[in-house]
Chain A
Amino acid sequence: QVQLVQSGAEVMKPGASVKVSCKASGYTFTDYFIHWVRQAPGQGLEWMGWINPKSGVTNYAQKFQGRVTMTSDTPISTVNMELSRLQSDDTAVYYCAREYGGNSFIWFDPWGQGSLVTVSS
């Protein structure tokens, strides 16, 4: 079945960088974009950006430009999201999700299980 499996929880110091990975299985990895969405504790969903795993082209939300880097490792069907200059308000669960759709409509399905990133001194 189509599945996205993410890396484990991380505890980071302020100012550091974190890399979260998302390994895809059950479909042709290069056929679908991967998006990243985060959710701070008790808060809503915040879209961060997407990557085309085939070309490596990315599109980031303005809020994260200059601080986020999404990369694709095609041989191992894995997408990585690195966020730099971490602050306490970056504490959140980070999700990857596959873009799916047809006839110009797009939605996210499935999602990874989420990776908790805690930023604390």
Chain B
Amino acid sequence: DIQMTQSPSSLSASVGDRVTITCRASQSIRNYLNWYQQKPGKAPKVLIYAASTSQSGVPPRFSGSGSGTEFTLTISSLQPEDFATYYCQQSYSNMYVFGRGTKVEI
């Protein structure tokens, strides 16, 4: 099975900071990579699919890049509403494994 490894597991940042989260796949998944945001007590919401395509309505400060085994999610200027946990997910195989998440804290 494909394994997804996220780093860091948590980070502290300030409003206005540029934040980068990394996700690595145990084998090539081409660009079959999604990013989700989850706030406490809420269901996840998709931010990015196909590694770099933003879901409709997602602020442009969120961007995704990468292919093969290494991917990044970048928040260009962190806003108060961005403090949340972020998960990557592979959709290359039909076992839709998630990374373990990155918690972005103040």
Contacts and interface: CB of A to CB of B under 8 A. Distances in A.
Given A47-B96, A62-B1, A107 B87 contact: no
B100 A44 contact: yes
Interface centre among A46, A106, A114 (most CB of B within 10 A): A106
B13 to A, nearest CB: 20
Given A107-B34, A109-B55, A59 B49 contact: no
B46 A109 contact: yes
A27 interface: no
Interface in B80-106: 87, 89, 91, 94-101
B96 A35 contact: yes
Interface residues of A, number: 24
Nearest to A108: B46
Interface centre among A37, A103, A112 (most CB of B within 10 A): A37
A107 B94 contact: no
A61 B91 contact: no
Contacts of A15: none
Contact of A105 (B43, B91, B95): B91
A111 B101 CA distance: 18
Given A44-B100, A111-B45, A114-B43, A59 B94 contact: yes
Interface of A: 35, 37, 44-47, 50, 59, 61-62, 95, 97, 101, 103, 105-114
10 contacts: A35-B96, A44-B99, A45-B44, A45-B101, A47-B89, A47-B95, A95-B43, A106-B32, A109-B46, A110-B43
